[in-house]
Amino acid sequence: MKIFVEPNRGEWEALTRRPANKLDNLQSTVREVMHRVRDEGDAALRDYTARFDKVELQDFAVSEETLAAATEQVPETLRQAIQTAKRNIETFHRSQQIQVEEIETMPGVRCWRESRAIDKVGLYIPGGTAPLFSTVLMLAAPAQIAGCKEIVLCSPPDRGGNIHPAILYAAKLCGVTKVFRLGGSQAIAAMTFGTESVPRVYKIFGPGNAFVTVAKQLAQLEGLAIDMPAGPSEVLVCADAGARSSHVAADLLSQAEHGHDSQVVLVTDSEAKAKDVWLQVEAQLAQLPRKELAAQSITNSLSLVFNDWEEAAEYVNLYAPEHLILSMENARTFAGKIRNAGSIFLGYHTPESVGDYASGTNHTLPTYGYARQYSGVSLDSFTKKITFQELTAAGLRTLGPTVEILAEAEHLQAHRNAVSLRLADLE
């Protein structure tokens, strides 16, 4: 593990680079998948599912009977934990509902804004090396609160043609309307274009591998919205003298075990602390079931030592981490200096894991430096905002002449006429 002590600012840009996210060479492959699904529908999905998931499927939809049966296949303790997480996620996301407020910009001119749910949303839930049922909660719960009419979920089948029962249980619990046994870029293509069995949606959410990421990018070119650009998962931990090295190491490894291309970064004010943390990382890594994946991720990672926490904050803002853990005594004060982060975890007792699962905040967050310009998923992600305006006769008399002047200055006579004719009729 490389430790950089007081790196000069000329090095900072290089020290914010993530592992190469080589997507350009996948575009032609994914574009072919997208076009085949567009043109051939379910037939293309069957072919790709047999080729990539190694299972022959005639029907991709998960039946109501299968969804109901999944409940009994999930241990009671896990069901209770999922329900607790769901309640917290719902509580937090319901708090994001905003009351409509009408504003009178001038006498007789009223303006306001209202939310409307996106009618059809698609959720992609990876199967891969771990069943991400927690992501079902993070996406389906706010979609349900927002009032989305159709919530379509796609997740890759295993070799037996099944989706993990915990994913199905969470989907049923959160009001998902349709579940399909589909994975990879072909699932994104199905939700983008629609097929005989899979409905077309208006916005796609959810993480995935590089093929899924490229497919979501191409879906945007077809007029769909997506949650946000995505890269591999990441965490940056700021640790002061009071932070336990074993806790910091566990936080770093909890992100490293996501995948070989994840990145973890430690920022501290002591070289001795940095070395102690990495000794703890080595000791804990050896005990992890996913140690091979985590070890590859650790090779992408680094430590930085700053004598000045003000300077450290500037580096954090340049890095713009997906997850930022402030394992510090004055965590709230330091957080006030942070402008760019997906989600912040404050203090010695707040591991990133709680946000991943059950504190209530959403774990679908901008990665790869996109926290400089993107927010994580929230209730707003599942809605559009419609603006309204209403003028009284008095309001039109007051505002109309201003609009006439502006329209004439832009040489838009019909715009002026729309006001002038009304004003004339009021006289």
| Residue 258 is labelled as binding a ligand | yes
Q: What whole-number distance in Å separates Cα of residue 53 and Cα of residue 1?
A: 36
323 has catalytic annotation: yes
Is 63 annotated in a binding site? The answer is no
Q: Which residues contact 406 (CB under 8 A, 6 or more apart)?
A: none
Name the catalytic one among 164, 234, 247, 322.
322
The question of whether 64 is a catalytic residue gets the answer no
* Nearest to 124, CA basis, from 56, 216, 37: 216
To the nearest 10°, report the CA torsion of 310, 313, 314, 318: 170
* Count of CB atoms situated within 10 Å of the CB of 346: 15
Residue 363, marked binder: no
**Helix (H) and strand (E) counts in the chain:** 17, 14
Largest CA distance in the chain: 85
Strand partners, 325: 237, 345
* Residue among 93, 164, 247, 323 flagged as catalytic: 323
- Is 247 annotated among the ligand-binding residues? no
Check the annotation: does 410 bind a ligand. Answer: yes
164 assigned binding-site residue: no
Among 122, 147, 135, smallest CA distance to 89 is for 135
Give the tokens for residue 266.
Answer: 């430690």
The answer to the question of whether 356 is labelled as a binding residue is yes
Residues in the chain: 427
Backbone angles phi, psi at 415, to 5 degrees: -60, -45
Name which of 211, 243, 255, 253 is nearest 365 in CA terms.
Answer: 255
Distances (CA, A) of 175 to 67, 116, 126, 205: 11, 18, 19, 16
88 is in an annotated binding site: no
Name the residues annotated as catalytic.
322-323
Task: Output the known binding site for NAD(+).
Answer: 124, 186, 209
Task: Output the known binding site for substrate.
Answer: 233, 255, 258, 323, 356, 410, 415
Task: Output the known binding site for Zn(2+).
Answer: 255, 258, 356, 415
Task: Output the known binding site.
Answer: 124, 186, 209, 233, 255, 258, 323, 356, 410, 415
